[in-house]
C-alpha cells in the first residue's frame, strides 16, 4: 500500500472522476447508494460544494480519497460544510480524513473560516470516531423519516397554493429549529426541482412545505404558531402526497422538536435513520 501525502483541492478534477471515486468509497457504506454524474452535480449545486474548498488525497493521478466542502457564503465564508467524505478501500487505514483536514485547515483559517460542519450517520461508528479524533464534536441529534403518507382529512377552511416566490423571511418565523445544511433556504433556492406550497387560512399564510419533486424529499415543513393543531401540516402533507404520489423522505429533524416525530409517524412515515451534526472550531 502506498502511503499518501499528496493533498490538493479538486479544481482540476472532472465530475466523472470524482463520481467514480465517490461510488467506490461508498460501495460498502451503511446506507448503500450510487451516484450518477448528473446527481453528483445536482448535489454539489444544492449544497454549494465547491472544488477549490474540497480536498483530494492523490496516488499519482488517482483520486484515492476526498472531502467535498461548501461555504456558507461565497464572498466572506465563516462556515464550511462537509457534503461527503470517502476513501476507497485500498487506501483505508492511513488516517487520510484527519490528514486531509490537517493539510487544509491553515488555508481555511486564512480565508476567515472559523467552523467546519458535517453530518454523519449515528450507526456509522467508525466514521463518528474518525471525526472525533480529528476534533469534531457532536452538536445535534437528527432523526430521518420515510414512508407513504396515509392522510385523508377534510381541508375545512385550509387552501393549499403553490408559491413560485417563497417568502423565507416569513417562513423562518414558523420554524422550531435551524434547518440542517441541505434544508436551509439558501440550499432550497439552489435546488431548481424543489417546489413550495403554502397553506392559507382566511387569506393568511398558515404554513408551508417545500419538496424536491423528483426525489420526493421534503426539505422543510412548518406551521405558524397561531395555526398549529388545526390540521395545517396534515393538509400540506396530504396535498403533496396526492400531487406527487410515492414514498417521501424528510431528513434531519432535531429530536427535541416537540411533536414532530409523532406527527410524521402518524402520517405514515417511520424513523429509518439517525444522524449527528458535528462541528469543529478552527
Question: What pLDDT, in 10s, does the model give residues 193-246?
Answer: 999 999 999 999 999 999 999 999 999 999 999 999 999 999 999 999 999 989
Q: What is the reported pLDDT for 155? A: 76
Quote the CA–CA distance of 179 and 250 in Å, as a whole number. 12
Mean pLDDT of the chain: 95
My answer on whether 85 and 27 are in the same domain is: yes
- Average pLDDT rounded to a whole number, residues 267-278: 97
Which cell goes with 89? 478501500
Query: Which residues lie closer than 8 Å to 222 by C-beta, 6 or more apart?
Result: 171, 174, 175, 176, 207, 208
**63 assigned to some structural domain:** yes
φ/ψ of residue 71, rounded to 5: -85, 155
Residue 106 and residue 34 share a domain: yes
- Residue 175 structural domain: 144-275
Residue 250 belongs to some domain of the structure:
yes
The pLDDT tens digits for 56-105 are 999 999 999 999 999 999 999 999 999 999 999 999 999 999 999 999 99
Task: Indicate the number of domains in the chain.
Answer: 2
Total-model pTM? 0.93
236 falls within a domain = yes
What is the band of 29 on the pLDDT scale with cuts at 50, 70, 90? confident
- For residues 177 and 243, state if they share a domain: yes
Give me the count of residues in the chain: 282
Hey, which bits of the chain come out as E strands? Answer: 6-9, 55-59, 62-71, 79-87, 115-121, 137-148, 158-162, 194-201, 204-212, 217-223, 247-254, 269-281
Residue 45 shares a structural domain with residue 162: no
pLDDT value for 33: 79
Give tens-digit pLDDT for 148-191. 999 887 777 999 999 999 999 999 999 999 999 999 999 999 99
For residue 58, the cross-strand partners are 6, 63
DSSP string, 228-248: TTSSHHHHHHHHHHHHH-SEE
Cα–Cα nearest to 251, from 237, 265, 272: 272
Residue 156 lies in a domain: yes
CATH number at residue 159: 3.40.630.30
101 lies in some domain? yes
Amino acid at each position: 500500500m502506498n502511503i499518501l501525502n499528496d493533498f490538493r483541492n479538486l479544481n482540476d478534477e472532472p465530475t466523472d472522476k470524482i463520481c467514480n471515486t465517490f461510488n467506490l468509497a461508498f460501495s460498502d457504506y451503511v446506507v448503500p447508494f450510487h451516484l450518477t454524474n448528473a446527481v453528483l452535480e445536482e448535489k454539489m449545486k444544492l449544497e454549494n460544494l465547491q472544488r477549490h474548498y474540497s480536498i483530494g488525497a492523490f496516488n499519482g493521478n488517482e483520486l484515492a480519497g476526498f472531502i467535498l466542502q461548501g461555504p456558507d457564503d461565497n464572498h466572506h465564508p465563516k462556515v464550511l460544510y462537509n457534503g461527503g467524505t470517502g476513501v476507497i478501500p485500498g487506501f483505508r487505514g492511513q488516517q487520510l480524513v484527519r490528514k486531509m483536514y490537517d493539510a487544509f485547515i491553515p488555508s481555511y483559517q486564512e480565508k476567515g473560516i472559523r467552523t467546519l460542519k458535517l453530518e454523519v450517520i449515528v450507526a456509522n461508528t467508525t466514521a463518528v470516531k474518525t471525526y472525533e479524533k480529528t476534533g469534531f464534536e457532536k452538536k445535534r441529534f437528527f432523526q430521518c423519516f420515510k414512508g407513504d403518507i396515509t392522510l385523508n382529512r377534510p381541508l375545512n377552511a385550509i387552501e393549499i397554493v403553490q408559491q413560485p416566490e417563497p417568502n423565507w423571511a416569513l417562513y423562518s418565523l414558523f420554524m422550531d429549529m435551524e434547518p440542517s445544511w441541505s434544508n436551509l433556504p439558501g440550499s432550497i433556492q439552489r435546488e431548481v426541482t424543489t417546489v413550495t406550497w403554502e397553506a392559507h387560512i382566511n387569506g393568511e399564510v398558515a404554513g408551508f412545505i417545500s419538496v424536491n419533486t423528483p426525489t420526493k424529499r421534503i426539505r422543510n415543513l412548518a406551521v405558524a404558531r397561531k395555526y398549529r393543531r388545526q390540521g395545517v401540516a396534515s393538509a400540506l402533507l396530504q396535498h403533496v402526497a396526492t400531487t406527487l404520489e410515492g414514498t417521501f423522505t424528510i431528513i434531519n429533524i432535531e429530536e427535541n422538536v416537540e411533536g414532530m416525530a409523532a406527527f410524521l409517524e402518524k402520517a405514515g412515515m417511520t424513523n429509518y435513520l439517525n444522524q449527528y451534526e458535528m462541528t469543529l472550531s478552527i
